Amino acid sequence: MNAQPLAQHIFDVEKRRAARDAVSIRAALHEPSTVSHEILVGNLSPFGFMAISPRGYREGTLVRLDLPLIGEVNARIVWSLSDRIGAEFIRPFDARGYRELLDTTPQKAGNDTD
């Protein structure tokens, strides 16, 4: 990602629809018709997530994220940089299910890097 797209990405992050919660959730991610692999979700909102992934993805790739208590959620990759990916959910999930997930998940400290 060169300087211009990175600057645009930072600008876009600042205008998100909802603040993201810092979390540390191991979850399965896969493209339709492929085997899933484990990722580490670092931040999450009902609208999207950022994660560390051993696989790279292209912008626009459709994926399924399998979250504890929520189940599979369809998403679209918005950005990919090194081993990190950002995605938006195709349909935001309900706030009650989201709160239940957060209540059962250890919160990530603000200074954690993974």
For the segment 30-88, what is each residue's pLDDT rounded down to a tens digit? 998 889 999 999 999 999 999 999 998 999 999 999 998 888 999 999 999 999 999 99
pLDDT reported for residue 96: 76
Burial of 89 from C-beta contacts in 10 A (0-12 / 13-18 / 19+):
middle
pLDDT reported for residue 107: 62
pLDDT reported for residue 99: 81
Which comes out higher in pLDDT, residue 41 or 105? 41
pLDDT level of residue 113 (50, 70, 90 thresholds): very low
77 strand-pairing partners: 87
Q: Where is 103: in which H helix or E strand?
A: helix 95-103
78 φ, ψ (degrees, to nearest 5)? -100, -35
From CA 114, how far away is CA 109, in angstroms rounded?
10
Please calculate the CA angle 81-82-83 and round it to the nearest 5 degrees.
Answer: 105
The reported pTM is 0.75
Q: Is the pLDDT of residue 14 over 50?
A: no
Q: What distance lies between CA 84 and its chain's CA centroid?
A: 9
